[in-house]
Chains A and B, each alone.
Chain A
Amino acid sequence: MRIFIVITCLLLFFKAADAQENYDASLISKELMPYATVVIRNSETTIEVKDLSNVNYHITKAITVLNKNGDDMARLIVEYDKITELKSIKGAIYNSFGKQISKFSKSDCEDYSNAHDFSLFEDARVKVYTPSVTEYPYTIVYDYEYRSKQTLDIDKWEPVEHTGIAVEKSSFTFICKPDFNINYKASNLAGKPLISTDTHGLKTYTWQLNNQKAAKHEPFSPYHDSFLPGVQIAPQNFTYYGINGTYNNWEDLGKWEYNNLIASRQNLDSETIQHIKEITKDIADPKQKAKKVYEYMQNKTHYISVQVGIGGIQPFLAADVDKQNYGDCKALVNYTQALLKAIDINSYYCIVQADNDYTIGLQNDFPSLNQGNHIILCIPFKNDTTWADCTSQTIPFGYLGSFTDDRNVLACTPEGGKLMHTPKYTLKDNVKRRKANFAIDNEGAISGNMTTVFKGVDYEYRDELINEPRTEQNKMLQKIYPINNLLIDKLDLQQDKSFNPSTTENITLHARDYASFSDGKYYFLLNPVNRIEETPKEVRNRINDVYIARGYTEEDEVTYTIPSGFRPEKEPLMVSIEKPFGKFTATMVLIGNQLTYKRKLQFIEGTYSKDTYQDLVDFYQAIVDADEYNVVLTKN
């Protein structure tokens, strides 16, 4: 019997070696060429779970690179760490006719640390092979295997990771014992997986993707996961860094995380507990108490990313943070929870996907480990659920901003995990309101003052200016406000850190040559400080819906006092547009020597049909036109 198995394996091996594909680039179908930088000729990913602490990954891929922009996508990058062991890497390069020109193996790869730039330490490494071929097209073919000792976090299959990638054929096979139960979720793939039993009695799941055209970059697209194909797998029983577990829903997973990562990490020494009690003893309102504790934590700690312990998902001990005064998001949330516990305030450790551009939530229908990249704190006061990010020394208590707003998060509690949703900032919350009084003199110089209030996610817009030297603040303001020769006479920045926070900027300024004077006429730009200068790019045959992550409101009112005795030479500006996704009005009125300019722009968050896109571009064009309105005044 044993001999038989060996022979079958050998036969299989020969078959694989024999099945030399033809990588001639001219064989690629013309249909796949538009917007393609590379074409995946064939890709096979096989994941086999041998047992809970032994998962084999085998990937073979053939990529034809059509031009030099594809070189990056042709690089072979294999990640590994303490529990992921690289077994083999081999590959070859073929020229445009499909003739092999070179070969490579593991020893030809460079080895690098794969830690994030922001991290002080992470146990993550990569092997990288960079092909160097100067004639296009060429094809790189590689085959690599690695073994992972955990079953909690199974790599997602993403046959198309990027725009510019076309696929001839790609397949994914997941192999496990018949009694090994998994949950899976396929997105943007036609058809159901093929589920069968192989000759060894193992269960196999297979997905395929064939003849997929390259996606192109389309502005205002939703998050790529929502339109690119992929398969996620979550085993029901797993082992992770030696800890076993079972889960079928968010509740189970959240409970496992609480029990194994957090529960035993929150002890503090009695001195600290006493101190926290002391500083909050005169406050009655629990929310104000929590605010006091949060501010204590903010003043004491700062963010440093060190990813160690259970694959980097376990926080430092609270007592350690108390001593070191630093930690990453996990450690700081865990520490804050421990501080709050000292005064009997219950809070949740919440996993979230932080992202400023897209509100990506944890998936309602598919629980798995790797859906978040950040930890925030939730305090469930009665009828007033409060949220806090513990990694900043300056943001107000209860403020999340665009980093983690409006999305599903997983609260890990002793009772189990629960999906919660963070607060949403609407166009009524995200407000930038400006009022300016300027005078333009006979020489064309402008002077006056300007007050701007920022609210909602805009609250943070001036953070980088705060506490900077005046000279640096001036430099930054000269970049923010496009007035040439701008000089700042006075700057006052105030932040109101209440539960409804706002930032107020007061500027007194002057600038020479704002208006130019020629032939008895004045010329100046009506909109001095808040111009949109370009529309988003036109997109033909758009595929994706139009996505506006967040609504906002901008209101500007500028009053100019101009030299007397002039009248406008052209029609005054008067624009008013209303669309399903936004509103824009801009007007100009000259009464005596007072010229008043008003501009209001609103965007409404949401996902709109792809046909809306042209409308959006036209809307922007109208704004661009209005924003570049040049005032021409002639002497009476």
Chain B
Amino acid sequence: MKKVLIIILVLSFFSKFSQAQDFTYGTITQEEMDMAKYPKDTSAHGVVLKEFGDSKITYTKRGIRLIHTYHVKIKIFDNKGFSNATIEIPVYGNNNEEDDINYHQPVYDIKGVTSYKDEKGLTQQIDLEDKKIYQVKDNKNWLTYKFAMPGVRNGCVIEYQFTFETSLLEHFFSWEFQGAIPKISSEYDVHIPAFWDYNASLRGTLKLNTSQAKIESPCFSLPGAHCDCSFIVYSMNDVPAFVEEEAMTASKNYKSAIYFTLIDYTNPYTGKKGNGTKEWADIDDRLKSELFFNGQLKRKGLLKDKIRQVIENKTDTLNKAKAIYSFLQKWFKWDGVYGIYSENLSKALDKHSGSDADINLSLVTALNAAGLNANAVILSTRENGTINNIHPSLDDFNYVVAKLFIGNQSYLLDATDPLLPFGVLPLRCLNGKGRVMSLDKPSYWIDMDTHQSKRSASIMDFTLQENGKLKGTITNYSIGYDAYLKRNAIKKFNSTDEYVDDRYSNWQRLKVLKSTINNLDSLDKPLEEIYEVEISQYDQLNNSKFAFTPFVLNKITENPFKLAERSYPVDWGMPSEDKYIVNVHLPGGYLVNSPPQKINLGLPNNGGTFLSSYEQLDNTFIFSTITKFNKGIYSSAEYPYLKELYNKIIQMEKSEIVFSKK
């Protein structure tokens, strides 16, 4: 009895301070071992029992370091939860000697233990062996530590911890409260010496259970300097698993997590103020002064010679710009690397290859060298998540494009892809806001996704022959982004002939007699495909009645939206419009008995429409539809309307036009 009392006393005494404490490694309760399901989510394959992280800036013999420790304990219910027991810790190291992964072990003190019940029902533990921790050098910048927890089986509890160290103070560790499996508790402690000032921002819809700050003193010292720290504890309890949905942008936008941005610092050795990023003006200054960005933009000389010939004899500003754009589109091959910094523009120019920054900063420089007015726009691509525009942070940006001004008009340009028309951005760039950076003016925000659309038109003109075949032409126009997609599809083939061979080869009843493709290389014009075709529609015209599905092409039978409701917006990136016209000439003596319905459907707030119309003149009938989505993004509240619009379209496409001999 006494014993118990003492334990309780100790526990309660401890708990006052234990709020900001890591849990003890290697301990396990009977309750944790016995847990058969997680009551708050009985379908979970595993649950994080406890997760604790601690990040601090400290002085070591290697210099000022950011040190992060991670510790987690996970209950695994069944084999679909085993993937949580294989751990990969990818580490980035740059060429900066302090962080060179070739010279240092950035991750150390890796420990792991699995607790399980043996055949007799007793709890046993097995430790992770050091020699079973593998290191893989993925490439020159990335190193991955990998290990699989030992002794994993249904019902076991795994626990592991490690420490990670870096000198990259700008990238203070963020913390994901939400993951693929639910978490009972997740706590993150940060210790930030007063020399540094970070902004913390919370993403996602979940609320913090704890967010406590206090002063820790003494905390940071190096020869000749001392300061206190802000010690902040963030925690969340009962965090549900994060579930992804289709047609959503980066999960980072919705996952509950906390991010840190360095906004200001004082050099602890010299006491000198550093270049923080408290205000956009700070960022502007920094980008302008740093060689990586505007430093490269100033190197007009590099490109002047190259573009001289390109713009020779061109007087019109727009034509000059187009010539430079297409010249650089052809000059460069994008190496697939994303970033806002160009490490070495002249090297990239020589190699004909580089990142988006190499290519598009060259574009900005070349346009300016030609006397045009162009700025750089930094942005975050769709998979990189949206920009947090409350606190300026360069870490959020991962891509650069050019913005060109001609008179009152402005154009957004990206030369990374040789098939993009002038003024059209790839889908990856259409993501919220971008920041326009110029050499001489303060930076400002623009919307990335209001400038372009995706449009197509299919026009069919058929004559029904006496042999039951439909003969005529199919003309497809692809405009804007749609033309870009279509050109990509065509260029997947070695020649347009091979494309045409393939085009309708899944459709045995249609034979292409002749085809023409126009404007394949005139990127600024709509792409036009004309096919003379013959469709074996009916065996013979022997029957008295014929049914005709006017949706010869593009018939939708399946609703792309299946869920009853969504939690996240549907993000297509840009508005779209599709027109469909079918014109049928019947032989003399035929009559349409049941014409199709004319319908007119709309989405709320002018979000989109579906219109069908039908007209008949003697032996000819014309049926047409227009499907328009006026927005790139539809909120989860608009989702049911979107789904219903598709439902109605599908309903309508089931009906057939019936005609018969008079």
Once the chains bind, are A632 and B656 in contact (CB under 8 Å)?
Answer: yes
CA distance A616 to B41 in the complex (A): 49
CA distance A534 to B506 in the complex (A): 6
Q: Which of B520-569 contact A (CB under 8 A)?
A: 547, 549, 557-559, 562-564
Once the chains bind, are B151 and A323 in contact (CB under 8 Å)?
Answer: yes
Q: Which of B349-379 contact A (CB under 8 A)?
A: 351-353
Binds B, one of A79-87, A140-148, A425-433, A512-520: A512-520
Closest Cβ–Cβ distance, residue B16 to chain A (whole Å): 39
Given A518-B655, A525-B557, A632-B547: 20 more A-B contacts, CB < 8 Å: A35-B498, A66-B494, A69-B494, A110-B140, A113-B139, A121-B134, A130-B335, A133-B333, A134-B418, A275-B119, A299-B153, A306-B134, A306-B148, A325-B151, A326-B150, A479-B562, A484-B559, A516-B654, A536-B506, A539-B505
Q: Is A120 an interface residue (CB 8 A)?
A: yes
Closest Cβ–Cβ distance, residue A507 to chain B (whole Å): 15
Nearest first, the 8 A-B pairs at minimum CB distance are: A469-B43, A132-B353, A478-B562, A132-B333, A121-B134, A516-B651, A537-B505, A523-B654
Cβ of B557: which chain A residues have Cβ within 8 Å of it? 482, 525, 533, 628
Cβ of B171: which chain A residues have Cβ within 8 Å of it? none
Once the chains bind, are A518 and B547 in contact (CB under 8 Å)?
Answer: no
Interface residues of A (CB under 8 A from B): 35-37, 66-69, 110-113, 115, 120-121, 130, 132-135, 164, 275, 299-300, 302, 304, 306, 323-326, 393-394, 467-472, 475, 478-479, 482, 484-487, 513, 516, 518-519, 521, 523-525, 533-540, 569-570, 617-618, 621, 628, 630, 632
Closest Cβ–Cβ distance, residue B508 to chain A (whole Å): 4
B646-662 vs A, CB cutoff 8 Å, 1 = contact: the mask equals 01001110111010000
Once the chains bind, are A487 and B564 in contact (CB under 8 Å)?
Answer: yes
Selected contact of A484 from candidates B79, B86, B498, B647, CB within 8 Å: B647
Selected contact of B597 from candidates A302, A518, A621, A628, CB within 8 Å: A518
Q: Which of B212-259 contact A (CB under 8 A)?
A: none
Cβ of A516: which chain B residues have Cβ within 8 Å of it? 651-652, 654-655
Cβ of A130: which chain B residues have Cβ within 8 Å of it? 335
Selected contact of A110 from candidates B137, B139, B562, CB within 8 Å: B139
Known pairs A68-B491, A120-B134, A538-B505; A111 contacts B594 (CB<8 A): no
Closest Cβ–Cβ distance, residue B333 to chain A (whole Å): 4
CA distance A630 to B80 in the complex (A): 41
Which of A68, A111, A484, A525 counts the most chain B CB atoms within 10 A?
A484
Cβ of A302: which chain B residues have Cβ within 8 Å of it? 79, 82, 152
Once the chains bind, are A475 and B563 in contact (CB under 8 Å)?
Answer: yes
Once the chains bind, are B140 and A324 in contact (CB under 8 Å)?
Answer: no
CA distance A142 to B499 in the complex (A): 32
Q: Is B509 an interface residue (CB 8 A)?
A: yes
Once the chains bind, are B80 and A467 in contact (CB under 8 Å)?
Answer: yes
Interface residues of B (CB under 8 A from A): 41, 43-45, 78-80, 82, 86, 119, 126, 132, 134, 136-140, 146-148, 150-154, 330-333, 335, 351-353, 418, 491-494, 498, 501-502, 505-509, 547, 549, 557-559, 562-564, 594, 597, 647, 650-652, 654-656, 658
Closest Cβ–Cβ distance, residue A189 to chain B (whole Å): 25
Once the chains bind, are B654 and A37 in contact (CB under 8 Å)?
Answer: no
Residue of B nearest to A477 (CB): B562
Once the chains bind, are A134 and B139 in contact (CB under 8 Å)?
Answer: no
Residue of A nearest to B658 (CB): A569
Once the chains bind, are B502 and A537 in contact (CB under 8 Å)?
Answer: yes
Closest Cβ–Cβ distance, residue B631 to chain A (whole Å): 23
Closest Cβ–Cβ distance, residue B662 to chain A (whole Å): 19
Cβ of A487: which chain B residues have Cβ within 8 Å of it? 564
Once the chains bind, are B508 and A132 in contact (CB under 8 Å)?
Answer: no
Cβ of B562: which chain A residues have Cβ within 8 Å of it? 475, 478-479, 486
Closest Cβ–Cβ distance, residue A631 to chain B (whole Å): 10
Residue of B nearest to A164 (CB): B494
Known pairs A112-B139, A115-B136, A484-B650; A67 contacts B494 (CB<8 A): yes
Cβ of A632: which chain B residues have Cβ within 8 Å of it? 547, 656
Cβ of A133: which chain B residues have Cβ within 8 Å of it? 333, 352
Once the chains bind, are A324 and B507 in contact (CB under 8 Å)?
Answer: no
Once the chains bind, are A111 and B139 in contact (CB under 8 Å)?
Answer: yes
Selected contact of A121 from candidates B139, B146, B494, B594, CB within 8 Å: B146
Once the chains bind, are B146 and A120 in contact (CB under 8 Å)?
Answer: yes
Once the chains bind, are B150 and A323 in contact (CB under 8 Å)?
Answer: yes
Once the chains bind, are B154 and A538 in contact (CB under 8 Å)?
Answer: no
Once the chains bind, are A630 and B647 in contact (CB under 8 Å)?
Answer: no
Residue of B nearest to A570 (CB): B547
CA distance A378 to B418 in the complex (A): 55
Selected contact of A535 from candidates B153, B507, B549, B652, CB within 8 Å: B507
Cβ of A324: which chain B residues have Cβ within 8 Å of it? 132, 148, 150-151
Cβ of B332: which chain A residues have Cβ within 8 Å of it? 132, 134
Once the chains bind, are A617 and B654 in contact (CB under 8 Å)?
Answer: no
Closest Cβ–Cβ distance, residue B459 to chain A (whole Å): 24
Closest Cβ–Cβ distance, residue B23 to chain A (whole Å): 25
Selected contact of A513 from candidates B41, B564, B651, B658, CB within 8 Å: B651
CA distance A301 to B611 in the complex (A): 59
Selected contact of B491 from candidates A69, A306, A513, A518, CB within 8 Å: A69
CA distance A524 to B650 in the complex (A): 11
Cβ of A393: which chain B residues have Cβ within 8 Å of it? 79
CA distance A275 to B120 in the complex (A): 12
Cβ of A617: which chain B residues have Cβ within 8 Å of it? 508
Cβ of A467: which chain B residues have Cβ within 8 Å of it? 45, 78, 80
Selected contact of A67 from candidates B136, B147, B491, B507, CB within 8 Å: B491
Cβ of A132: which chain B residues have Cβ within 8 Å of it? 332-333, 335, 351-353
Which of A68, A304, A487, A540 counts the most chain B CB atoms within 10 A?
A304
CA distance A514 to B307 in the complex (A): 61
A–B Cβ pairs within 8 angstroms, 29 of them: A69-B491, A113-B137, A132-B351, A134-B333, A134-B352, A134-B418, A304-B86, A324-B132, A324-B148, A325-B150, A325-B152, A326-B152, A471-B43, A475-B563, A479-B562, A484-B647, A485-B559, A516-B651, A518-B655, A519-B594, A519-B655, A534-B507, A535-B506, A535-B508, A537-B502, A538-B505, A540-B501, A569-B658, A570-B547
Closest Cβ–Cβ distance, residue B7 to chain A (whole Å): 34
Cβ of B147: which chain A residues have Cβ within 8 Å of it? 120
CA distance A130 to B80 in the complex (A): 39
Closest Cβ–Cβ distance, residue A129 to chain B (whole Å): 12
Which of A394, A471, A519, A533 counts the most chain B CB atoms within 10 A?
A519
CA distance A450 to B160 in the complex (A): 46
Residue of B nearest to A68 (CB): B491
CA distance A306 to B650 in the complex (A): 50
Closest Cβ–Cβ distance, residue A365 to chain B (whole Å): 37
CA distance A306 to B79 in the complex (A): 19
CA distance A394 to B86 in the complex (A): 19
Residue of B nearest to A279 (CB): B119
Closest Cβ–Cβ distance, residue B647 to chain A (whole Å): 6
Cβ of A69: which chain B residues have Cβ within 8 Å of it? 491-494
Once the chains bind, are A468 and B491 in contact (CB under 8 Å)?
Answer: no
Once the chains bind, are B126 and A470 in contact (CB under 8 Å)?
Answer: no
CA distance A519 to B547 in the complex (A): 15
Closest Cβ–Cβ distance, residue A324 to chain B (whole Å): 4
Cβ of A485: which chain B residues have Cβ within 8 Å of it? 559, 647
Residue of A nearest to B135 (CB): A121
Known pairs A69-B492, A523-B654; A120 contacts B86 (CB<8 A): yes
Cβ of A470: which chain B residues have Cβ within 8 Å of it? 43
CA distance A446 to B535 in the complex (A): 34
CA distance A420 to B505 in the complex (A): 41
Closest Cβ–Cβ distance, residue A213 to chain B (whole Å): 13
Once the chains bind, are A323 and B43 in contact (CB under 8 Å)?
Answer: no
CA distance A482 to B498 in the complex (A): 32
Residue of B nearest to A522 (CB): B654
Selected contact of A482 from candidates B136, B493, B558, B656, CB within 8 Å: B558
Which of B136, B139, B147, B154 counts the most chain A CB atoms within 10 A?
B136
CA distance A469 to B38 in the complex (A): 13
Cβ of A110: which chain B residues have Cβ within 8 Å of it? 139-140
